Amino acid sequence: MPVLDMDTRSSLRQVRAVIFDRDGTLVQNEPYNGDPARVRLVSRAAEALAQLRGAGLKIGLTTNQAGIARGLITADQVRAVNNRLGDLVGPFDTVRVCPHDEGDRCLCRKPQPGLILAAAADLGIPPEELVMVGDLGADIGAARAAGARSILVPGPATRRLETSAVVAVATSLTAATRLVLWWARGQQ
């Protein structure tokens, strides 16, 4: 198990939900994908989510989609891709999308905490009782800003510096799932 930062607010709380980033974490990253037919899962994504649901955890999805603000995809296309993902891995208890561009200075675009806080509110769970799983430093930063735990699962888009600044790094979605289940059983 990775070394954990016991100074975070979330370190002593049992995990009740997992929030996943979409692109690069659950699905192969395809920039500005608006076509549900092009959704390709990362290895063992469906199994990981089934295992977490089987343990009684709620599952959420958060995604930055600047392509909406840039006019490259529509909100309806993003919904269609998210729905296809749900068809492949099972339903999400909450889905939150940031449609803004980096220059919009919104509070929902990761690494801001807005998506995480909104997902936690949707689930009726304090952010300290959820884990954010993502492939970028922005995912981890959003979790930290919201007071949640996080696990980085590095992928092709992950920068080396992002892996050095995080508390928990997993080599795969399967390894991240094992860590979440360990936390959910009240391990610290």
- Residue positions annotated with a catalytic role: 21, 23
Amino acid (one-letter) located at 94 = T
Query: In this structure, what token pair is assigned to residue 98?
Result: 């940031």
Nearest-CA neighbor of 18 among 132, 150, 177, 141?
Answer: 132
Which residues are CB-neighbours of 29 under 8 A, at least 6 positions away? Answer: 23, 135, 155, 156, 157
Close Cβ partners of 130 (under 8 Å, ≥ 6 residues apart): 15, 16, 17, 18, 19, 60, 116, 119, 120, 123, 148, 149
Q: At what angle do helices 75-89 and 45-54 cross, to 10 degrees?
A: 70
Q: What percent of the chain is helix, strand and coil (3-state, nearest 5)?
A: 40, 15, 40
Vertex 56, ends 39 and 135: CA angle to 5°?
Answer: 40
